[in-house]
Chains A and B, each alone.
Chain A
Amino acid sequence: MADKMADGVLLNHNQLHHDNDGIDRRGFLKCMAWAGTGAVCVVQGGVLRSFALNSPEAKRAKGQISFVQISDSHMGFNKPANPDVVATLKAAVDKINALPATPEFMLHTGDISHLSKPSEFDNVDQILKSARPQEVFFVPGEHDVLEDEGAQYRERYGKGTNGAGWYSFDKSGVHFIGLVNVMNLKAGGLGSLGAEQLEWLERDVKHRSHSTPIIVFAHIPLWTVYPDWGWGTDDSAHALSYLKKFGSVTVLNGHIHQTMQKVEGHITFHTACSTAFPQPKPGEAPSPGPMKVPAEQLRSLLGLTSVDFVRGKRSLAVTDSTLA
């Protein structure tokens, strides 16, 4: 476990700048391994550098757009892995409100509720009311669409969206695409986007300039993290093929309750922590269920993600922060 810094700076602070291709992937992975000890890994001009956490270079780049991603709040979960998901979601909101610059808005990448109960959705809404960024964009997780094929989710969070709840919007010249890959899951399969959504996506991006930065957010990872545990999306390759022409694509996911990164050409994939409970690393447990840890360690395995877009560099700074 990393030691706490005397000035109270957060642990496990990863910062990834994705400027262009030519990233030394092996070096990148090695650098990510140092990140747990309090280093910051930055890619500048294609070269990997690491900085001590409290150095000036490690400070978050001022971007033209900045937002926060939270995920997997699982409101209603009350088992030993975290008997109080209300407290940890509130802690995440406190963390967001304590950021030096208030993010413009938030993304919630799903599993808002644990059992799709109205009271669970109500509780999350109530807690998010005290977040400084009041605008929140959601995509559903599989726990949000139980019993009613997502009707309640769409009623609450999907106004103006298409089909099961997919949509796109623009902020400061960045094109955001919210996808739904938790509907109509097939036995033995992974996440699924489906033909209708894929057709919509192809149309949505067809006439956009390749210099438009793209941010895609969806619950289940859009790359195959670990198929045995269903951590992937059956038909994401089609989706990604429509995004091939763009110079900067960032994919933000949740579902796996841990941070993970992958860079492939112009596409950066990133998963966020849960605010409710951690899950084991791929293959390190018999199943991907809630991972029990000593109470004092729980908050160091929960967290949120800050994203800054720096115009002109075509880069996004993706910074993970834990709750403790």
Chain B
Amino acid sequence: MRKIRLVVAFAMLLLMAAPGPRRVWAATAPGSAPATAGGTSPIAPDKASAGVDVKMDNFSFTPQEITVKAETTITWTNRDDIPHTVTSTDQVFKSKTLDTDDKFTFTPTKPGTYSYFCSIHPKMTGKIVVE
């Protein structure tokens, strides 16, 4: 566990030290992400490859907290009538501004807890726990 933490920490240092725009592990232009297979179950799927959906509506991320296995693709869809972003609090990922029906995907590869929020409406927060 300690080794994994070190690896994650080192990886984050590398990412933060990288010059130029922040790198994201997985990013999709708004509106162009393919629909994820399967339903919108908030619980960790049996297969790591099945996707998990999070929706944005009423200034909330729903489900607010999800637990997934590494390599699971998470897809956020904005169902609100106001734009939002998906922004990691640790600068791990950041979507463009997502208007209604726009999508953003992220596929974590390392276990850990990833807190995020909407940078436009910072009271809107969410969490991904990657096992």
Residues of A within 8 A of B (CB): 79-81, 114-116, 142-143, 146-147, 185-190, 227-230, 286-290
A292 to B58 alpha-carbon distance, docked (Å): 13
State whether A115 touches B97 (Cβ < 8 A).
yes
State whether A288 touches B100 (Cβ < 8 A).
no
State whether A289 touches B123 (Cβ < 8 A).
no
**Least CB separation from B119: chain A residue:** A185
State whether B122 touches A146 (Cβ < 8 A).
no
State whether B82 touches A289 (Cβ < 8 A).
yes
B interface majority secondary structure: loop
State whether A146 touches B81 (Cβ < 8 A).
no
Q: Kindly supply a per-residue 1/0 record for chain B positions 51-62, scoring 1 wherever the CB is within 8 Å of any chain A CB and 0 otherwise.
A: 000000011100
Residues of B within 8 A of A (CB): 58-60, 80-83, 85, 87, 89, 96-97, 99-100, 115-117, 119-123, 125
**Given A79-B100, A190-B122, A228-B123, A288 and B81 touching (CB < 8 A)?**
no
Q: Quick one: which of A147, A186, A230 contacts B121, CB cutoff 8 A?
A: A230
Interfacial chain A residues near B125, Cβ < 8 Å: 187-188
A interface majority secondary structure: loop
13 contacts between A and B (CB under 8 A): A114-B83, A115-B83, A115-B99, A146-B97, A185-B119, A188-B117, A188-B123, A190-B123, A286-B58, A287-B59, A288-B59, A290-B81, A290-B82
Q: Quick one: which of A114, A143, A230 contacts B123, CB cutoff 8 A?
A: A230
Smallest distance from the beta carbon of B53 to chain A beta carbons, Å? 20
**Least CB separation from A231: chain B residue:** B123
State whether A147 touches B117 (Cβ < 8 A).
no
Interfacial chain A residues near B87, Cβ < 8 Å: 187
Smallest distance from the beta carbon of B108 to chain A beta carbons, Å? 18
**Least CB separation from B81: chain A residue:** A79
**Least CB separation from A185: chain B residue:** B122
State whether B81 touches A187 (Cβ < 8 A).
no
Smallest distance from the beta carbon of B38 to chain A beta carbons, Å? 28
